[in-house]
């Protein structure tokens, strides 16, 4: 049987039966443990440091060892002294429950810190997922909507509030912007193609309208010509019939024929004038449609040129930003390398240290870019 633990000694073997069989007989040993606990709580370790958190866990572990040691002594006595098992078991339970409560009391700040740490990590992970969700759409968006999402995402500040999740958040933002900008170029191209199709449909409709008008003009001219021929034929037949009726009415018939011939000529002239007017209107409509089509094509070309210039400027700006960031990081890394080497490290060790820090593999140490 062990005579002592980290926090409290156990009763001597020759007095253990008396101690365990006496109500509250183990209070002196519990008092020793409580004194150590109270001394520990006077100056609580810093939970923000690894050493502080290990101190909490160590104290809780020592209480558990005392609990186990006192329990072992009681179990040994209980096994030997069957006549007083109830007293011993009751004292064992009381001591166990007391030490269990003290163990939880000592460990509670560490558990509370861990809960807060888990909530903090979840908050940052949710923020990163929200950034990634900006590049996902349930329905195909318009180019204007994609451009607005890009503008909003570019305004999203990535600062020290992201703590150690800043690189991951920055990577998520960059990846989302790359996806969105690719989608923007694709949607702009598709919408330009749709506008071109609309222009071509308008030209086709204009051509169909011109064809209809020309057909109407031709049909009108043909009808006028047929009517004139039919009317002339009728007049000739009437003249022949009148000549055969009577010689006395010849002069009147001749006058009527002359009058009718003049009317036919006027009708033919009017039909020809109507045909010319219809052809002129059709030509004017064709020219107007052609002018509208040319204006629409020119405006589309200007708009496409503007979009291409804006896309090229954006690509150049992103490239310059990446090059500036790369140069900035390289400058800081070179300064850190020089400082390590001045401090006595070899160049190879210094480079490895900088690489590990930049990859976030060294706890509580980072390079501020």
Residues 58-77: pLDDT tens digits? Answer: 999 999 998 998 888 888 88
Q: Is residue 254 pLDDT above 80, yes or no?
A: no
The percent of residues in the chain predicted with pLDDT above 70, rounded, is 95
Write the pLDDT tens digit of every residue in 102-118: 989 888 888 888 888 88
Range 133-141 average pLDDT: 83
Q: What is the DSSP string of 14-72?
A: HHHHHHHHSTTTTHHHHHHHHHHHHHHHHSPPPTTSHHHHHHHHHHHHHHHHHHHHHHH
> Band of the pLDDT at 83, cuts 50, 70, 90?
low
Percent of residues, the chain, with pLDDT higher than 90: 8
Above 50 in pLDDT, residue 1?
no
Distance of CA 31 to the CA centre of its chain: 60
Structure confidence at residue 5 (pLDDT): 41
Q: How far is 32 from 277, CA to CA, in rounded Å?
A: 121
Residue 343 in 3-state DSSP? coil
Q: What integer pLDDT is reported at residue 27 of this predicted model?
A: 92
User: What predicted TM-score, i.e. pTM, was given to this entire model?
Assistant: 0.36
């Amino acid at each position: 049987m062990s005579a002592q633990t980290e926090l409290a000694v156990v009763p001597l073997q020759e007095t253990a039966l008396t101690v365990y069989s006496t109500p509250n007989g183990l209070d002196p040993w519990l008092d020793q443990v409580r004194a150590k606990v109270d001394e520990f709580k006077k100056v609580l370790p810093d939970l923000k440091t690894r050493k502080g958190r290990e101190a909490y866990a160590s104290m809780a572990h020592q209480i558990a060892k005392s609990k186990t040691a006192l329990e072992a002594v009681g179990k040994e006595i209980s096994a030997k002294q069957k006549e007083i098992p109830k007293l011993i078991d009751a004292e064992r339970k009381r001591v166990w429950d007391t030490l269990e409560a003290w163990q939880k009391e000592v460990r509670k700040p560490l558990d509370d810190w861990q809960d807060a740490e888990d909530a903090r990590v979840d908050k940052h992970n949710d923020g990163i997922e929200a950034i990634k969700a900006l590049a996902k759409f349930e329905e195909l968006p318009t180019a204007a909507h994609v451009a607005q999402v890009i503008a909003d995402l570019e305004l999203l500040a990535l600062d020290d509030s992201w703590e150690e999740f800043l690189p991951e958040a920055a990577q998520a933002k960059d990846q989302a912007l790359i996806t969105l900008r690719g989608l923007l170029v694709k949607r702009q191209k598709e919408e330009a193609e749709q506008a071109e199709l609309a222009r071509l449909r308008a030209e086709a409709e204009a051509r169909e309208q011109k064809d209809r008008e020309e057909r109407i003009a031709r049909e009108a001219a043909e009808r006028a010509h047929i009517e004139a021929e039919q009317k002339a034929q009728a007049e000739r037949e009437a003249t022949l019939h009148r000549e055969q009726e009577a010689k006395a009415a010849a002069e009147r018939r001749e006058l009527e024929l002359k009058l009718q011939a003049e009317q036919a000529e006027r009708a033919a002239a009017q039909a020809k004038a109507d045909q010319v007017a219809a052809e002129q209107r059709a030509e004017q409509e064709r020219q107007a449609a052609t002018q509208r089509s040319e204006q629409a094509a020119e405006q589309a070309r200007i708009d496409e040129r503007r979009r291409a210039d804006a896309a090229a400027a954006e690509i150049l700006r992103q490239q310059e930003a990446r090059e500036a960031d790369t140069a900035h990081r390289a400058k800081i890394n070179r300064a850190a390398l020089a400082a390590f080497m001045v401090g006595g490290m070899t160049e190879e060790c210094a480079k490895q240290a900088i690489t590990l820090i930049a990859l976030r593999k060294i706890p509580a140490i980072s390079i501020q870019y």
